[in-house]
Structure 1
Amino acid sequence: MEAQSLRTRLSSGDVVIGSFQSIDSPMVSEIMARAGMDFVLVDQEHGPLSARETMTCCMAAQQAGAASVVRVRENAESEIQRALDVGADAVEIPQVATLEDARAAVAAARFDPIGERGLNPYVRAGGYDGGPEYTNRQNEEVVVIVHIEGEKGVVNLDDILDTAGIDVLFLGPYDLSQSIGIPGQVRDPRVEELMEEVCERAAKAGKVVGTYADDPEMAYRWIDVGAQYVAISVDAPVLLGAYTELVDAFE
């Protein structure tokens, strides 16, 4: 899947499903894509992946038919630029809680006239030779996803929704639960009410919402509310669960 396909599907109202990758191997990216995931979410924030490993994971996911998404370590220009320069189809930016955060994310992820992303056309994203349409194509195709992960982000939601250049608001249920004093209780009504509020306000503003789900049941819970971009589980616990099930069969 190409970035334009991902962005077009989201714009047309389709639901896309992916998973977080924390294991630093392109084989994992390829396996996720071959399994039929719409996107592979390479996690630099909570995983050990370097820029080099991220690039090979993006290559593997794309070659096997999935969009490559990179969650960067922080809302920093150098982090966002590196993720996009190595060829990610989309970038996820954590801890966006204010208008200033949202503007900084867009500025780093978009080229002029939308943003101020550093320009080197001779990178993988530019096919190593750039071309006259490189910056326009990147502005049109790259999907920019910002994380709403705390009460402060919900309070400032209108400012974030009004920020041009953002494609998806991603709700982080675990960080949201921690921000209201109930860490890890992602199915608590207080967390769900916050998430429902964001989904409702985003829908009125015509914005796409994404979120994380531990399992398909939780995923359908948020798809029914309006989430279109859903990351289900993480590679490590999926692998652990599958092997545990195999071992348990011999006990």
Structure 2
Amino acid sequence: MAERTFRQRLQDGETTIGTFQIIDSPMVSEIVGLSGMDFTIIDQEHGPLTAESSVGMCAAAAQGGAAPIVRVRENTEGEIQRALDVGAAGVEIPQIETREDAEAAVEHARFSPLGGRGLSPYTRAAGYNGGPDYTDTQNEEVTVIVHIEGERGVENLDEIMAVEGIDVLFLGPYDMSQSIGIPGQVRHERVEELMDEVCERAGEAGKIVGTFADDPEMARRWIDVGAQYIALLEDAPILMDALADRREAIVDSE
């Protein structure tokens, strides 16, 4: 039996755990996979990463066993097309607030007849030489993840969920907190109520939900209400905390 794609795993109901990556290093991408994480989100929106640096990171993540997901800077054709052309298994698209936003995201991420993604058979995603099944394979395997990050997105959730071609509704708790005037308070009851509402409505509609978690406790809280795609922290603070803990253990033992 052929190995299931990351998109198929989500569709089969699996809970997947990954992390955001802002360190510009293919080695980190590979380590994320070797650690057992299911995916790494190569963060072009809030990190220093580019299409050029993402090429090696996508290859290294896949080599280590993690699906490379690229978070683009904005919902535009060029941003999404480049992320997928360099070999990402999926794309995360920020600030989706309306049906029109969602439709644009799908249009940029899917090839015809599902969308209007620009086609070149000579990209890394195409194996540099395309083939008759390239566009169908990409449409079948690429994971499209849209960010619901504020009250407006929640208000328009039904219209967003009605758009075909979206795989995951990703709830951004930090932007959500900012949108309701309590920036950074991601465990505030008002933020959790909004996110609970989305999880409930998405579950009723048969849609997959994802979110970010600062720690395992926060991750389990959202898994318990149905989230399948959990981004646990980021590579930089994970590394920093691990080093600080080890130094503290040495100093305390003296």
Shared fold, TM over 0.5: yes
Conserved in 2, the CA contact under 8 Å of 1:3 and 1:143? no
**Which residue of structure 1 lines up, in the alignment, with residue 180 of structure 2?**
180
CA RMSD of aligned residues (A): 1.1
**Which residue of structure 2 lines up, in the alignment, with residue 41 of structure 1?**
41
AA of the residue aligned to 1:108: H
- For the residues of structure 2 that align with 1:4 and 1:185, how far apart are their CA atoms? 37
The 3-state SS of whatever aligns with 1:178 is helix
- For the residues of structure 2 that align with 1:247 and 1:140, how far apart are their CA atoms? 47
TM-score using structure 1 length:
0.98
**Which residue of structure 1 lines up, in the alignment, with residue 52 of structure 2?**
52
**Which residue of structure 2 lines up, in the alignment, with residue 231 of structure 1?**
231
Relative to structure 1, the CA distance from residue 118 to residue 4 in structure 2 (aligned partners, 3 Å threshold; closer, same or farther) is farther
AA of the residue aligned to 2:89: D
**Which residue of structure 1 lines up, in the alignment, with residue 150 of structure 2?**
150
The 3-state SS of whatever aligns with 1:137 is helix
Conserved in 2, the CA contact under 8 Å of 1:6 and 1:67? yes
AA of the residue aligned to 2:31: I
- For the residues of structure 2 that align with 1:13 and 1:191, how far apart are their CA atoms? 25
Task: Name stretches of at least 5 consecutive residues in structure 2 with no aligned partner.
Answer: none
- For the residues of structure 2 that align with 1:105 and 1:12, how far apart are their CA atoms? 23
**Cα displacement (A) at 1:4:** 4.7
The 3-state SS of whatever aligns with 2:170 is strand
**Which residue of structure 1 lines up, in the alignment, with residue 139 of structure 2?**
139
Conserved in 2, the CA contact under 8 Å of 1:85 and 1:124? yes
- For the residues of structure 1 that align with 2:145 and 2:3, how far apart are their CA atoms? 13
TM-score using structure 2 length:
0.97
Q: Percent identity?
A: 66
The 3-state SS of whatever aligns with 1:125 is coil
**Cα displacement (A) at 1:3:** 9.4
- For the residues of structure 2 that align with 1:51 and 1:11, how far apart are their CA atoms? 28
AA of the residue aligned to 2:127: G
**Which residue of structure 2 lines up, in the alignment, with residue 164 of structure 1?**
164
Relative to structure 1, the CA distance from residue 3 to residue 113 in structure 2 (aligned partners, 3 Å threshold; closer, same or farther) is farther
Question: Following superposition of structure 1 onto structure 2, how do residues 61-76 of structure 1 map, counting pairs within 5 Å?
Answer: 61-76=61-76
**Which residue of structure 2 lines up, in the alignment, with residue 199 of structure 1?**
199
- For the residues of structure 1 that align with 2:5 and 2:214, how far apart are their CA atoms? 26
Conserved in 2, the CA contact under 8 Å of 1:92 and 1:146? yes
The 3-state SS of whatever aligns with 2:139 is helix
- For the residues of structure 2 that align with 1:60 and 1:210, how far apart are their CA atoms? 24
Conserved in 2, the CA contact under 8 Å of 1:99 and 1:163? yes
**Cα displacement (A) at 1:64:** 1.1
Runs of 4+ in 1 over 2 A off after TM superposition: 2-5
**Which residue of structure 2 lines up, in the alignment, with residue 8 of structure 1?**
8
Conserved in 2, the CA contact under 8 Å of 1:4 and 1:141? no
Could you give the per-residue CA deviations for residues 146-177 of structure 1, whole angstroms, max 9, x where no partner exists? 00001000001011000000000000000000
Question: Following superposition of structure 1 onto structure 2, how do residues 98-109 of structure 1 map, counting pairs within 5 Å?
Answer: 98-109=98-109
**Which residue of structure 2 lines up, in the alignment, with residue 88 of structure 1?**
88
- For the residues of structure 1 that align with 2:41 and 2:35, how far apart are their CA atoms? 14
The 3-state SS of whatever aligns with 2:239 is helix
Relative to structure 1, the CA distance from residue 139 to residue 3 in structure 2 (aligned partners, 3 Å threshold; closer, same or farther) is farther
**Which residue of structure 2 lines up, in the alignment, with residue 112 of structure 1?**
112
- For the residues of structure 1 that align with 2:63 and 2:236, how far apart are their CA atoms? 22
The 3-state SS of whatever aligns with 2:129 is coil
Counterpart check, 1:31 vs 2:31: yes
